[in-house]
Structure 1
């Protein structure tokens, strides 16, 4: 059995880190990354730009960035119970990726 062992490289490249000028450009790049690397994430938690603006007295443009925070969870691996009353359409696991948006 030891002689038949083969190492598998399962390290993925990072998500491209570049300035995104809109939420749509981020989503498009992230979807391409997920497709190219065969990974699947769902959004577990998100916060609106409106909420961020109120809490930080900053005016991020909602038309370009309608989310200031998104918590992505991997679809595979560990089951996580839904937090709602059965009305959610998204299930999730416990792997986390987070994104914060900044306006320049």
Structure 2
């Protein structure tokens, strides 16, 4: 049995995603640092694989860079795109626009 059995799929997930991005159009992580970056992805605060749900209180809107960073951190991988201060080194990140 898959560890993602609670995952919402198809039209139901599309509706949840659309509603989340409409209600919270800015990246939550960037916004916490005083940056205004458009969110393009919906993240599970507690991953589904760790018992998280698709309920609104477990979702947050993130930009692609922050979502990738969070996902890698959750998987225990090293952050290669941030400098010692934690700022992105990728000059295409919205922070540099």
Q: When the two structures are superposed, what TM-score results if normalisation uses the length of structure 2? A: 0.30
User: Between Structure 1 and Structure 2, which shows a larger proportion of strand residues?
Assistant: 1
User: Between Structure 1 and Structure 2, which shows a larger proportion of helix residues?
Assistant: 2
Q: When the two structures are superposed, what TM-score results if normalisation uses the length of structure 1? A: 0.29
